[in-house]
Amino acid sequence: MIKDPRVMHLLEFSKKIHPRDLFPVRYEQAAILIEKDPFAFALAAVLDRGRKAEVIWTIPYYLQKHTGDLNPYFFASKSIEELEGIFRSLPEKPRYITDAPRTAKELSEIVVNEYNGDVTKIWENKSASHVKKTFQCIYGVGSGIASMIILLLERCFRVHFNDVDRRYMDVKPDVHIIRVFYRLGFISERNTKEALEAAQRFNPEYPGALDAPAWVIGRKWCTPFGPKCQSCPLDEVCPK
Ligand code: SF4
């Protein structure tokens, strides 16, 4: 089946995306922390709810500065109330400040109690379905975040899963993806359901492949006001 040119352009652009475009941060040290410390990556990923990406991916850095050492044993040993106090003292906080401590604690407890403190054992030599299931046991982590973690592990950390049925890997529609899909003419109403269905319809063998390119384009070019169409990678195929 011949693909829609808009989809072709998105997939082509996707090949050029740098991993750092997918976890934008406030400071260079925060990016280095995410790249070098898999626990920092996992912690930010499970907290990724309703807050700007720059804040979410910088939170492990803020936590490291506050605690001195970003360590799952530390988070597992603290009470929810103690962790809430820590989160509240950060310069920028997760959106759901009363939920985030429980999410961080549950991730840390799994890492400590089931994987001897090594977060990479959650995904090393495991199937994608197992990894998704593990993350979805954590408070506040739904299917969308768990799928995003699989995609990021593959894309940015070169973890290979051979059981991923990509037909069921969806986009995780946020404001950027919905805006780009709308302006591209993929959807006629700006909502999550339409965006999910559009990705499934336009790229049925792997809907989630449209996630990263649409998200990056939405942040860099297709901004809410004054989109930079002339320099946008989709300019020649976008009906605007
Ligand atoms: S060409 Fe313009 S409207 Fe279309 S996706 Fe790019 S920035 Fe958005």
DSSP string covering 49-89, please? SSS-HHHHHHHHHHHHHHHSS--HHHHHHS-HHHHHHHHHT
Average pLDDT of span 145-170: 87
Radius of gyration (C-alpha) of the chain in whole angstroms: 18
Three-state DSSP state, 191:
coil
Q: What pLDDT, on the 0 to 100 scale, is given for residue 6? A: 97
227 lines ligand 1 (CB under 6 A): yes
Q: What pLDDT, on the 0 to 100 scale, is given for residue 155? A: 87
| Residue-averaged pLDDT of the chain | 94
221 lines ligand 1 (CB under 6 A): yes
Please determine, for residue 194, whether its predicted confidence score (pLDDT) is greater than 80.
yes
Looking at domain 5-18+167-231, its CATH architecture is Orthogonal Bundle (1.10)
Residue nearest ligand 1's atom 7 by CA: 222
Q: Higher confidence at residue 192 or residue 166? A: 192
Q: What pLDDT, on the 0 to 100 scale, is given for residue 91? A: 96
Residue nearest ligand 1's atom 3 by CA: 240
Average pLDDT of span 66-88: 95
Provide ipTM, 2 decimals.
0.99
Q: What pLDDT, on the 0 to 100 scale, is given for residue 82? A: 96
The pLDDT tens digits of the residues spanning 21-64 come to 999 999 999 999 999 999 999 999 999 887 889 999 999 999 99
Q: What is the rounded distance in angstroms from the CA atom of residue 101 to the CA atom of residue 80? A: 6
Looking at domain 37-164, its CATH architecture is Orthogonal Bundle (1.10)
Q: What is the rounded distance in angstroms from the CA atom of residue 230 to the CA atom of residue 236? A: 9
216 lines ligand 1 (CB under 6 A): no
Contact 240, 15 (CB under 8 A): no
Q: Which two tokens stand for residue 136?
A: 């979805």
Q: What pLDDT, on the 0 to 100 scale, is given for residue 162? A: 82
Q: What is the rounded distance in angstroms from the CA atom of residue 10 to the CA atom of residue 72? A: 37
Torsion region of 226: left, alpha or beta (phi above 0 gives left; psi -120 to 50 gives alpha): left
Q: What is the rounded distance in angstroms from the CA atom of residue 87 to the CA atom of residue 209? A: 33
Q: Delimit the domains of the chain by residue range.
A: 5-18+167-231, 37-164
